[in-house]
Structure 1
Amino acid sequence: MKDVIKYDPFNIGFDLLNIGFVFVKSNSENEEPFTTSDAIAKNAGVDEESVKSLARNNKGVSRFKIRKLHAKNGRPREIFIFNEQQAIFIITLLRNTSRVIKFKYNLSVAFVNTRKLLDSRKLSHEQSKPVSKSLGESIRDNPNMNGSHDYANLNKLIYKIALNTTTNQLRKQRNIPKGAVLADYLTVDEQQAVNKVKNAVIALNGLNMAYADIKNAITPKQYRLLEKVKGDE
């Protein structure tokens, strides 16, 4: 199960599995998976209005409605959003054609796999916290560091080296809210890449190097060259 981040074609949410029928609102590891009336209709081979009618006629399904512009004529259209429990309930009400039965299975599996993917990111994030703590301690214990100012600059440098993008660019690319924790929006591979650079910076702090010296010693070009050499060994 590849850890990817891809925005779905209907601009509703992020399709982490790249399958077109289970989404999350943002690529934060804390999101809850959902599907839509549109996705159910397309994949089950039924009319979307039938799906909406089932939702309207069953008060226990507290769906959330959104309005999106139609791709062809620009007119707004109403789409229902369902969480896993609501979606499974709705699809059990459909006539059991072979296509519906197959999609019912695929939908259940997709919800499970999306949750597993999010949980793997949460676990990776949790396991990285000791590294972040050690980084903070190494900055605190380095007499040549200028407290919070250098801490912020080092974090920006770490992301630039690990992910080849600035923290501001990352927030813009992934619609990360101001003040949100960047690590919540990283894939497992990205989290591991950040941790590797943090460990390198921790070692340099252990040598009591100033921020400017660390920045010169661990440029993106030098770091990538070192990683390539390690990979070829």
Structure 2
Amino acid sequence: MELVYYKGLQDEPYTTNEVIAEYTGIKYKSVYEAIRNNITDIEDFGVLPFEMVKPTQGNGGRPKKIYHLNEQQATFLITLLDNTPKVKEFKKLLVKSFYQIKSELDERKIHRQVNKVVNISFGDVIKAHYPASKYAYSNYHRLAYKYALGVTPKQIKEQRHTDDPQSALTSDESERLERTKQQIALFIQDGNDYQAIKTKLFADI
């Protein structure tokens, strides 16, 4: 179980009451009640969203309410729990995890901006060479993903549960995709068609 999650580049990282219970050794019900009893104070640090999650084992059981707590909300909640050695250790792990996730998100945002510039060039090259084609961009876009990452944008959406495959990429994946798009743009400018470019890309694999 991860300590901190996020859904997209523009979304705030969060942890959950389930994570807090798991890592502190405190009963889920106790953590849940601590939130319910102090929800007004917790919401001073922002809106407190939640999701209803069905039990993973078996067919019975009631869905659980899983709260998504941002860093300030989680930090405040932990101050309300018993300050055991396990809780202290979790505090340190949680602070580190939030920092790491935020750093990764910042890096991804930078790559996203770089990719926007690259995509303008990539898109302009395709538009200039295939002015009448409705599908040229989507075909080359999909080819770039397939070569750089081994999957299509649609598969990334399904695997990573996102509507925006670009935002779900790691920094390394974004760099590989960027280089591939630049390579494809150069191939197009050299007069290669789709099949020739595909053959050249996958020739060394």
CA distance in 2, matches of 1:169, 1:66: 24
Q: Relative to structure 1, is the Cα distance of residues 201 and 66 closer, same or farther in structure 2, using a 3 angstrom cutoff?
A: closer
1:116-195 to 2 correspondences below 5 Å: 116-142=103-129, 145-177=131-163, 180=164, 182-195=165-178
For the pair 1:92 / 2:79, whether they are aligned, the reply is yes
CA distance in 2, matches of 1:54, 1:126: 41
Q: Is the 8 A contact 1:23 1:34 kept in 2?
A: yes
Q: Relative to structure 1, is the Cα distance of residues 55 and 199 closer, same or farther in structure 2, using a 3 angstrom cutoff?
A: same
- TM-score where L is the length of structure 1: 0.75
> What is the deviation of 1:95?
2.1
Question: When you count helix as a share of all residues, which structure comes out higher?
Answer: 2
Q: Residue 71 of structure 1 corresponds to which residue in structure 2?
A: 56
Q: Is the 8 A contact 1:29 1:184 kept in 2?
A: yes
Q: Relative to structure 1, is the Cα distance of residues 65 and 175 closer, same or farther in structure 2, using a 3 angstrom cutoff?
A: closer
Query: Which one of 198, 202, 206 corresponds to residue 181 of structure 2?
Result: 198
Q: Is the 8 A contact 1:204 1:214 kept in 2?
A: no
Query: Which one of 24, 33, 54 corresponds to residue 44 of structure 1?
Result: 24
CA distance in 1, matches of 2:147, 2:132: 21
CA distance in 2, matches of 1:48, 1:205: 57
Query: Which one of 13, 34, 41 corresponds to residue 60 of structure 1?
Result: 41
Amino acid at match of 1:169: Q
Give a deviation string over 1:72-108, Cα, whole Å, max 9, x none.
Answer: 4531233333111110000011222211111111111
Q: Residue 5 of structure 2 corresponds to which residue in structure 1?
A: 23
Give a deviation string over 1:27-73, Cα, whole Å, max 9, x none.
Answer: x3233211111211121121222222222222122333433223345
Secondary structure of 1:23 counterpart: coil
| CA-atom RMSD in angstroms | 2.2
Report how many aligned residue pairs link the two structures: 198
Q: Is the 8 A contact 2:143 2:198 kept in 1?
A: no
Q: Residue 110 of structure 1 corresponds to which residue in structure 2?
A: 97
Give the fraction of aligned pairs with identical amino acids, expressed as a percent. Answer: 30
Q: Is the 8 A contact 1:36 1:79 kept in 2?
A: yes
Q: Residue 3 of structure 1 corresponds to which residue in structure 2?
A: none
Q: Residue 11 of structure 1 corresponds to which residue in structure 2?
A: none
Q: Is the 8 A contact 2:42 2:73 kept in 1?
A: yes
Q: Is the 8 A contact 1:120 1:188 kept in 2?
A: yes
CA distance in 1, matches of 2:56, 2:160: 22
Secondary structure of 2:5 counterpart: coil
Q: Residue 223 of structure 1 corresponds to which residue in structure 2?
A: 201
Q: Relative to structure 1, is the Cα distance of residues 96 and 167 closer, same or farther in structure 2, using a 3 angstrom cutoff?
A: closer
Structure 1 residue ranges, 4+ long, deviating more than 4 angstroms after superposition: none
Amino acid at match of 1:195: E
Amino acid at match of 1:151: Y
